[in-house]
């Protein structure tokens, strides 16, 4: 909630700036802060994944039922045939999209 409140105050300052120059400066400052915030969160997520190889390995075990179901639905909608062994292929969705 604190982050949202801070953003609201910053956006309010942009809207109520005394002139265009001040508004542009406040806008640029806000955008830079948002970019820095998002970049920090992304780097944190990358660090977490780099330090949790089991999380990466869990995703390499093949497609989930939902993935296979979605691939089947997309194939049916596009009148395509899915590759043989799709239920076991870890890259089935990537293979499907490259067709």
Please list the pLDDT of the chain residue by residue as tens digits (99 residues). 677 888 899 999 999 999 999 999 999 999 999 999 999 999 998 888 777 766 656 556 677 888 888 888 988 898 888 877 775 554 444 444 444
Written as six digits, the tokens of 84 are: 């043989």
pTM over 0.75: no
Residue 68 CA to residue 78 CA, distance in Å, equals: 15
**Count of structural domains, the chain:** 2
Question: Do 89 and 46 lie in a common domain?
Answer: no
Question: Do 41 and 67 lie in a common domain?
Answer: no
Question: Do 71 and 42 lie in a common domain?
Answer: no
Contact 63, 90 (CB under 8 A): yes
Question: Do 38 and 68 lie in a common domain?
Answer: no
Question: Do 48 and 70 lie in a common domain?
Answer: no
Report pLDDT for 3. 76
Question: Do 78 and 45 lie in a common domain?
Answer: no
Residue 8 CA to residue 14 CA, distance in Å, equals: 10
- Residue that is written with structure tokens 């075990």 in the block: 61
End-to-end CA distance of the chain: 45
Question: Please, where are the H alpha helices in the chain?
Answer: 2-15, 20-50, 53-59, 65-77, 92-97
User: CA-based Rg of the chain, rounded to a whole angstrom?
Assistant: 23
Question: Do 10 and 33 lie in a common domain?
Answer: yes
Question: Do 47 and 69 lie in a common domain?
Answer: no
**Domain around 70:** 62-97
Question: At which of 53, 70, 89 does a domain end?
Answer: 53
Question: Do 39 and 74 lie in a common domain?
Answer: no
Listed in sequence order, the residues at least 6 apart from 11 whose beta carbon sits closer than 8 Å to its beta carbon are 30
Question: Do 68 and 39 lie in a common domain?
Answer: no
Written as six digits, the tokens of 94 are: 């990537």
């Amino acid at each position: 909630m604190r982050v949202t409140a801070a953003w609201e105050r910053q956006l309010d300052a942009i809207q109520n700036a005394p002139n265009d120059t001040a508004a542009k400066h406040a806008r640029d400052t806000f955008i830079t802060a948002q970019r820095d915030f998002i970049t920090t969160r992304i780097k944190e997520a990358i660090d977490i994944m780099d330090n949790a190889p089991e999380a990466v390995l869990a995703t390499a075990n093949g497609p989930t039922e939902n993935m296979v179901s979605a691939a089947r639905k997309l194939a049916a909608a596009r009148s395509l045939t899915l590759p043989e062994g799709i239920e076991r292929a870890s890259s089935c969705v990537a293979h499907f999209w490259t067709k």
